[in-house]
Amino acid sequence: MMVTLPSLALALLSLLRAGAEVPVQSSFSAEKFAGTWHIAAAASNCSVFLKIKDGMKSATITISLTPEDDLDMKLVWPMLDKGQKFELLFQRSGQTGHYVAAQEKKDMHVMETDYSHYAIVHQLQQNGQERPRTALQLLTREQDVTPQLLQRFKELIPTVGLTKDMLAVLPKSDHCTEVIS
């Protein structure tokens, strides 16, 4: 009998439990969700995010489906004059619209989306013994965000245990002329 669980498994278990009540888009389609998005706004209780949020610009996300129906996510964050590139693999869980990036200990729910204009995504990250960090992101297909979408996003912030002062509306960025990874 196994007496101790590896800490990664433990962290994932607590993530799965913490994220269990997050609602997801009904009849979610990963195929329709794939493609390019811009992060138009974000809210998070991550202390690093709160420190830098007022200077942040919109990032670009490109999502493609792997043969296993997992989400391969490429992010380009504009930092100074350069684009900083990140890549994450979100594996699908038992529930549609719910994904887990085991290595980064991240958990993601696509709370709602109309696929062609916007998506609201919930993320949870667990780092060791620290309290989990929650983030909500408003993704848009176009870089411009309508006041209606922003309003909808603001309505969801308190429903995931965050507050409005944790919100950052991210200004458009000129395309990164150079991408470093």
Ligand X SMILES: *[C@@H]1O[C@H](CO)[C@@H](O)[C@H](O)[C@H]1NC(C)=O
The CB-of-59 to ligand X minimum distance in angstroms stands at 21
The CB-of-46 to ligand X minimum distance in angstroms stands at 7
Question: Measured at CB, which residue is nearest to ligand X?
Answer: 161
Name which of 23 and 132 has its Cβ closer to ligand X.
132
Name which of 18 and 24 has its Cβ closer to ligand X.
18
- Residues forming a β-bridge with 62: 36, 74
Q: Give backbone dihedrals phi and psi of 69, rounded to 5 degrees, phi first.
A: 70, 20
Name which of 50 and 75 has its Cβ closer to ligand X.
50
Are 126 and 14 in contact, with CB atoms under 8 Å apart?
yes
User: Distance (Å, rounded) from C-alpha 43 to C-alpha 93?
Assistant: 24
The CB-of-52 to ligand X minimum distance in angstroms stands at 16
Residues within the interface to ligand X (CB under 6 A): 45, 131-134, 161
Name which of 161 and 171 has its Cβ closer to ligand X.
161
Are 74 and 61 in contact, with CB atoms under 8 Å apart?
yes
Q: Give backbone dihedrals phi and psi of 120, rounded to 5 degrees, phi first.
A: -115, 120
How many other β-carbons are positioned within 10 Å of the β-carbon of residue 143? 13
Q: How would DSSP label each residue in 5-27?
A: --HHHHHHHHHHHHTTT----TT
The CB-of-48 to ligand X minimum distance in angstroms stands at 11
Q: Give backbone dihedrals phi and psi of 49, rounded to 5 degrees, phi first.
A: -55, -45
Letter for the amino acid at 61? Answer: I
Name which of 22 and 71 has its Cβ closer to ligand X.
22
The CB-of-45 to ligand X minimum distance in angstroms stands at 4
